[in-house]
Chain A
Amino acid sequence: NAGVTQTPKFQVLKTGQSMTLQCAQDMNHNSMYWYRQDPGMGLRLIYYSASEGTTDKGEVPNGYNVSRLNKREFSLRLESAAPSQTSVYFCASRPDLNQRQYFGPGTRLTVL
C-alpha cells in the first residue's frame, strides 16, 4: 500500500514548456486534489475531483488543466509554464465526506 504517489519529485522547465504532473493513489479514494504551496501562502487548491469523471476548479486554476483518468489517477498539466508557476505541488486524496486528506510527497517545480 503506497498511499499517494507523485511523479516527478523535481522538475526544471523553461518558460513556455509544457509538462504533466502525475498522481496516483491505491486507497480506493473517491476525491483527489491538487494544491500548490508557496512560501507564506499556505496550501492553495488548484483543482479537485470529487469522483471519477468529474473535476472542479479551486482557488487558483488559471494556467492549469487536470484529468481524472480513472479512480486511481489524477494528473495536472501545465500547457505553457510561467515563472509564477514555480512552486511545490501536492496531490492529495480523501475517502469520503469529512474525512482526512492524505498527501503525496510533492513535486518541486522550477520554471526559468
Chain B
Amino acid sequence: QKEVEQNSGPLSVPEGAIASLNCTYSDRGSQSFFWYRQYSGKSPELIMFIYSNGDKEDGRFTAQLNKASQYVSLLIRDSQPSDSATYLCAGTNSGNTPLVFGKGTRLSVIA
C-alpha cells in the first residue's frame, strides 16, 4: 500500500513567521510531488509541484524534496492569515497512476 503521511496539525504560526509543512512517502518509485491548498468547504488547488531533489521556490512558497529520505516539505515565508487552510501533499510515480494524497495538515496563521 503506497502511503503519504502528514501530521494532521493544527500547526499554528504567528503572522509573518515561516510555516513548515512536512510529508513522508512510502513508495520509493514516487517521482513527482504536489502541494495542494484547501480552504474549508472548497476544492483543493495546486500551489507547488516538484520533481527533482532540492528546493523549488515560487514567491513566498518553497518546496523541498529529498528522495533518499523520502521526504517532501513546503515552507511558507511571511505567513499571512489568508494562508490558513489545510495543505495536502500528494505523490505519484512515473507511470500513469493516480496521485496518492496525505490526509493533510491544517495550518492556522494567527494575526
Contact with A along B64-82 (1 / 0, CB 8 A): 0000000000000000000
Among A12-20, A21-29, A68-76, A98-106, the stretch that binds chain B is: A98-106
Assign chain B's interface to a size class: 20 to 34
B95 partner residues in chain A, CB cutoff 8 A: 97
B43: contacting residue among A33, A48, A58, A105, CB under 8 A: A105
Q: Decide: A50 near B43, CB < 8 A? Known: A41-B103, A98-B31, A98-B32.
A: no
A interface residues with partner B (beta carbon < 8 Å): 31, 33, 35, 40-43, 45, 48, 50, 58, 90, 97-98, 100-101, 103-106
Number of A-B contacts (CB under 8 A): 44
B96-A50 in contact (CB<8A): yes
Across the interface, A40 reaches (CB within 8 A) one of B44, B51, B103, namely B103
